[in-house]
Amino acid sequence: MTEIKRATRIDLDALLPLMGAYRTFYDQAPDLRREREFLRRQLEDGTSAIYLARDEREEAVGFVQIFQVHSTVRLGLSLILEDLFVVPSARRMGVATRLLQRALEFARDVGAMEMFLETAKDNIAARGAYERAGWTREGRFLKYNAPPLDEDIDKC
């Protein structure tokens, strides 16, 4: 049975390979130093809530990371489910579903008004998992990305 627990600093080394695999999935170059620093900060300052899934052998098999934002429209707390990843060997075994359930429990616990996520259009497996868990596609808003922030700002 998969166990889902809120990650702490003690879980940093277990989370690192999952974070690396997640970033690789999204075509990001591995950067162990920056990944470690990023996760360390999240775990220490509480910027996000990270839940870690471990299998019966206590191996880390997945994680979900949730960030808090505030909605002027809803006049309350909104959550962004920023990351969800399950190792290939543990997929189609209910791990993603359990992580999504835990994310919803967290949202209720903190009194959030809403929670949302985004995923790649071609990530069919993830889209299926979200839809099976009752998530619905956004139909009212369009997402826009800012120009690259590491380039000359005068080009805008």
**pLDDT tens, 115-144?**
999 999 999 999 999 999 999 999 888 888
Catalogue all structural domains in the chain, each as residue range(s) with its CATH number. 3-155 (3.40.630.30)
How distant, in Å, are the alpha carbons of 57, 71, 82, 115, 151 from that of 67? 29, 13, 7, 10, 26
> For residue 141, what pLDDT is reported?
86
**pLDDT tens, 63-77?**
999 999 999 998 999
Which residues in the chain land under pLDDT 50? 156
pTM, to two decimals: 0.90
Please provide the DSSP assignment of 111-127 as one string: T-SEEE----TT-HHHH
Q: What residues does 70 pair with on adjacent strands?
A: 77
**135: buried, middle or exposed (CB in 10 Å: 19+, 13-18, 0-12)?**
middle
> For residue 111, what pLDDT is reported?
96
